[in-house]
């Protein structure tokens, strides 16, 4: 697992917790990041993902709802939903990261934490988001 993959994994864990407890205590988040990542650049990357997803959640969820056929965001498994949120955030806000890398990283998180169906589901949804990204806003 690459270092940035590890930062994504830690961000996923915090987003999963945020789903169940909307108020994450900043000191608890800082301690979790420090213990799990240690390196300042990885902590910054995980914080960028965490804060970006939380701040842009409405926009991200709207994009997911547009492309996830027959699935509401609320009905998605919590792991899948948060893996997808990370992927959509990166597709929207990190233009220097190649689309293939973003999708591959999300699939790996889905394999590690989701169900047997999660990787294919995440791949299909993010492929549709990425197609929209390449064609411009919907």
DSSP string, 31-71: HHHHHHH-SHHHHHHHHHHHHHHHHTHHHHHHHHHHHSTT-
**Do the beta carbons of residue 103 and residue 126 sit within 8 Å?**
yes
CA distance 6 to 12: 10
Asked if pLDDT for residue 136 goes beyond 50, the answer is no
pLDDT bin (cut points 50, 70, 90) of residue 96 is very high
**Do the beta carbons of residue 47 and residue 37 sit within 8 Å?**
no
Q: What is the pTM of this model?
A: 0.92
* pLDDT tens digits along 17-41: 998 887 888 899 999 999 999 999 9
Q: CA-CA-CA-CA torsion for 59, 104, 96, 63, nearest 10 degrees?
A: -10
Least confident residue range of 47-51, 76-80, 113-117, 128-132: 128-132
The angle subtended at Cα 71 by Cα 53 and Cα 14, nearest 5°, is 30
Question: What average pLDDT does this structure show over 43-72?
Answer: 95
Asked if pLDDT for residue 132 goes beyond 70, the answer is no
CA distance 66 to 73: 10
Least confident residue range of 14-28, 41-55, 79-93: 14-28
Residue 86 confidence (pLDDT): 99
Domains of the chain with bracketed CATH: 3-135 (1.10.940.10)
């Amino acid at each position: 697992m690459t270092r940035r993959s590890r930062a994504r994994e830690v961000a996923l864990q915090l987003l999963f917790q945020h789903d169940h407890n909307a108020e994450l205590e900043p000191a608890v988040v800082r301690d979790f990041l420090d213990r799990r990542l240690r390196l300042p650049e990885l902590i910054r990357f995980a914080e960028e993902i965490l804060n970006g997803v939380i701040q842009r959640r409405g926009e991200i969820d709207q994009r997911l709802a547009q492309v996830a056929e027959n699935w509401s965001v609320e009905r998605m498994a919590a792991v899948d939903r948060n893996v997808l949120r990370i992927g959509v955030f990166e597709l929207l806000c990190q233009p220097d990261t190649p689309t293939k890398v973003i999708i591959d990283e999300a699939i790996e998180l889905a394999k590690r934490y989701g169900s047997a169906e999660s990787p294919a589901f995440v791949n299909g949804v993010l492929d549709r988001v990425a197609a929209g990204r390449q064609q411009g806003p919907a």
